[in-house]
């Protein structure tokens, strides 16, 4: 009797999860499409300014690991100078042997020091306008409005079984870890926050995260000013 009840509860839980994912995807499509239409003048103006002031390319494209580690190209407005041909030709830096058991908890990702933020890129980053173009990734289905930050494929290759759990859902434009200022500062806390979101995800939780993201974005884009409880 208890076994049947347990199976029934699991079945209900699975159906609720499937329903949530369907509603979440519909929400992503509607919101991203509406935002792209409404923000079309902003997209065009930023593109024109970058093209005139900084030159080509307007967009910065980079590979990211999405749901189930599927690779996709993330689009963002370019905010940094282009790396020289010599730097781009250098072989990738080898990962240490200590990563054989997963990405270290103390790992901190640093952007390449050979590039600097452009004048236009400074105010684009200040208000997170460089992320507007990622709405195309959301509309396409590579990303979601809310979800773990897209991971660099080379780093995702070294995830252990515990860390791989954050790849069970689509990555997002914003997330629980980002609001807590942990996306780049502490890998262990980032993983913990991402898994906490995945285990407790709901439309209500997504809306709260998006609201607080917009609120903090208005405050000059400072995502580490206030912790999310």
* Count helices and strands in the chain by DSSP H and E runs: 9, 4
Q: Mind listing the pLDDT tens digit for each residue in 193-202?
A: 999 999 888 8
How remote is the C-alpha of 163 from its chain's centroid?
A: 16
Query: Would you state the pLDDT for residue 218?
Result: 72
Distance CA 27, CA 6 (A): 31
How large is the average pLDDT for residues 27-46?
Answer: 94
Question: Model confidence over 121-134: pLDDT tens digits?
Answer: 887 887 778 888 99
Contacts of 101 (CB under 8 A, 6+ apart): 160
Flag whether pLDDT at 10 surpasses 50.
no
**75 pLDDT exceeds 60?**
yes
Look at 201 and 222; give whichever has higher pLDDT.
201
Provide the token pair at 162.
Answer: 């515990």
Average pLDDT over residues 109-131: 73
Taking CA atoms, 77 is separated from 114, 151, 192, 196, 210, in Å, by: 19, 18, 29, 30, 21
Are the beta carbons of 74 and 172 closer than 8 angstroms? no
* Entry pTM: 0.77
């Amino acid at each position: 009797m208890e076994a049947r009840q347990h199976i029934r509860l699991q079945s209900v839980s699975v159906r609720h999860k499937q329903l949530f994912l369907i509603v979440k995807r519909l929400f992503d499509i509607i919101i991203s499409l509406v935002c792209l239409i409404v923000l079309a003048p902003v997209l065009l103006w930023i593109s024109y300014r970058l093209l005139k002031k900084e030159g080509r390319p307007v967009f910065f494209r980079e590979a990211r690991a999405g749901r189930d580690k599927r690779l996709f190209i993330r689009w963002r407005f370019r905010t940094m100078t282009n790396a020289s041909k010599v730097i781009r030709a250098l072989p990738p830096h080898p990962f240490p042997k200590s990563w054989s058991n997963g990405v270290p908890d103390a790992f901190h990702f640093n952007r390449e020091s050979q590039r600097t933020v452009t004048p236009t890129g400074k105010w684009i980053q200040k208000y997170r306008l460089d992320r507007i173009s990622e709405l195309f990734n959301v509309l396409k289905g590579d990303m979601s409005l809310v979800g773990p930050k897209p991971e660099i494929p080379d780093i995702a290759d070294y995830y252990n079984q515990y860390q791989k759990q954050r790849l069970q859902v689509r990555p997002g434009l914003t997330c629980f870890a980002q609001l807590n200022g942990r996306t780049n500062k502490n890998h262990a806390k980032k993983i913990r926050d991402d898994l906490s979101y995945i285990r407790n995800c709901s439309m209500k939780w997504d809306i709260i995260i998006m609201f607080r993201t917009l609120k903090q974005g208005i405050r000059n884009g400072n995502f580490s000013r206030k912790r999310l409880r």
